[in-house]
Chain A
Amino acid sequence: MDARLPTAFRSALIAAAVLGLFAVLGSLLVGFSYQATAERIQQNEREMLLAQLNAILPENEYDNDLLRDTLDVSAPRALGAERTQVYLARRNGKPVAMILSPVIARGYSGDIALTLGIRIDGSLAGVRVLSHKETPGLGDKIEVERSDWILGFAGRRLGDPPESRWKVKRDGGAFDQFTGATITPRGVVRAIRQALLWYRDQGHQLLETEAIEEPHHD
């Protein structure tokens, strides 16, 4: 019997070995890059999230670890999202505000994800758009980078304006729409109103949640 393997088989084996070698090399490269960047990326994510939250609720208004003092609520009818993260802001152990993210509004071309801060007295600390698919140049004026419109909600509450006027002006409400885009701001105003109602009826109870014990995290 010929001890040597058939040529075709041998050649396939070598090809497979070379391919395997490169798979290992490629994985090593990816693994190494991951090792080298993972911590920094995680840090970036945290900083970015915290910056988003601080844009709504200034840093000096609370003193707890906002990213850790969180609750997971499910109120799809009121908040539009299957799950909404609630960040509880406290100062000297007393609740001062909560930030909800995401609250989903229905826009002109899909969902608009909002982050929304509500102070303990029921007034809005602020609203920002997390993501949307609205028409550039028209509906995207809900972004704070494009227009000041979204800033106009800070300090408002149910009652200011009255609940019946939580609409865009075209619908007889108190809030501006945009030239060429009514559906987008209408959806946003509606979602904010819904969220404020939710806060009044149930959400405020969450503020009584005990502060999370200092975790034994390393």
Chain B
Amino acid sequence: MTEVNYHRITLDGLWHNNQALVALLGLCPLMAVTNSTINGLTLGLATTAVLLMSNLSVSTIRHWVRAEIRLPVFVLLIASFVTATELVMNAWFHELYKILGIFVPLIVTNCTIIGRAEAFASRNPVPAAVTDALAMGLGFTAVLTLLGALRELIGQGTLLSGAHLLFGEAARAWEFSAGNDFQGLLLAILPPGAFIGLGLLIALKNVIDKGLGARARKAEPSHCQTAPVVPSRS
């Protein structure tokens, strides 16, 4: 077996093959819940938790689930994990659960999860699969949070509003507000704001990559990127 390159897996998840910015998977929740920082962060963390459980179990069973029933088994596992996550959120983060609404159960349709199960976890040992889940999940969470922060700041003039719902009462003080005079740019909160914001983030990433690429080309000749693997998307 070849040496597992954790560094590479991590970088892929967070940056080179970022599920939101490069693979463009999971756009439905990405667009829908990123109207505030905390909403984005919460759904990102919930997705990461499911991804972690799914990659871990898929990698564990990869030798004795035959190819023909592989996908149904993955789907079964993922659906169970999502339902369990949903119940836990409903019990311990009730208000956030109410705010995120349908998008918690809809984690099950996030192609990132079945995509990583199929493309990575089913072919790699457990430690690598767990690393991949964490990297992919956190990469996705980062984009959700960033987009949420941008939209909240521009559209509403606040940051981290509702932080106490996730972090407890002490977090109430974290909320930043630009003041009551700030009317906000409505567009940012509306659905088009999500598309425009995501587009800008993707553009930003490409600009950075280009800059990095130009610098790297001077040092070493080739620069390879992993391609997105999953064909279908939600």
- Residues of A near any B CB (own CB < 8 A): 11, 14-15, 18-19, 22-23, 25-27, 29-30, 33-34, 36-37, 40-41, 44-45, 48, 136-138
Contact = CB atoms under 8 A, between A and B. Distances in A.
A135 to B, nearest CB: 8
Contacts of A22: 65, 73, 76-77
Given A15-B66, A19-B69, A136-B190, A40 B80 contact: no
B87 interface: yes
B228 interface: no
Contact of B76 (A26, A37, A44): A26
Given A23-B76, A30-B87, 16 more contacts: A11-B66, A14-B66, A15-B68, A18-B66, A22-B77, A26-B79, A29-B80, A30-B80, A30-B84, A33-B87, A37-B87, A37-B88, A37-B91, A44-B91, A137-B189, A137-B190
Contacts of B91: 36-37, 40-41, 44
B127 interface: no
B90 interface: yes
Contact of B87 (A25, A34, A48, A136): A34
Given A26-B77, A44-B94, A33 B83 contact: yes
B186 A136 contact: yes
Given A33-B84, A37-B87, A18 B186 contact: no
A45 B81 CA distance: 23
Given A34-B87, A37-B90, A44-B94, A19 B72 contact: yes
Contacts of B35: 136
Residues of B in contact with A, size category: 20 to 34
Nearest to B156: A137
A22 B74 CA distance: 9
Contacts of A18: 64-66, 69, 73
A44 B81 contact: no
B192 to A, nearest CB: 12
Please classify the interface of chain B as helix (H, G, I), strand (E, B), loop, or mixed, using the class held by over half of its residues.
Answer: helix
A30 B77 CA distance: 10
A48 B76 contact: no
A19 B77 CA distance: 11
24 contacts: A18-B64, A18-B65, A18-B69, A22-B77, A23-B76, A26-B76, A26-B79, A26-B80, A29-B84, A30-B80, A30-B87, A33-B87, A36-B87, A40-B92, A41-B91, A44-B90, A44-B91, A45-B94, A48-B98, A137-B184, A137-B186, A137-B189, A137-B190, A138-B186
A152 B189 CA distance: 27
Interface string B35-76: 100000000000000000000000000001110110011001
Contacts of A26: 76-77, 79-80
B189 A136 contact: yes
Nearest to A42: B91
B161 to A, nearest CB: 9
Contacts of A27: 80
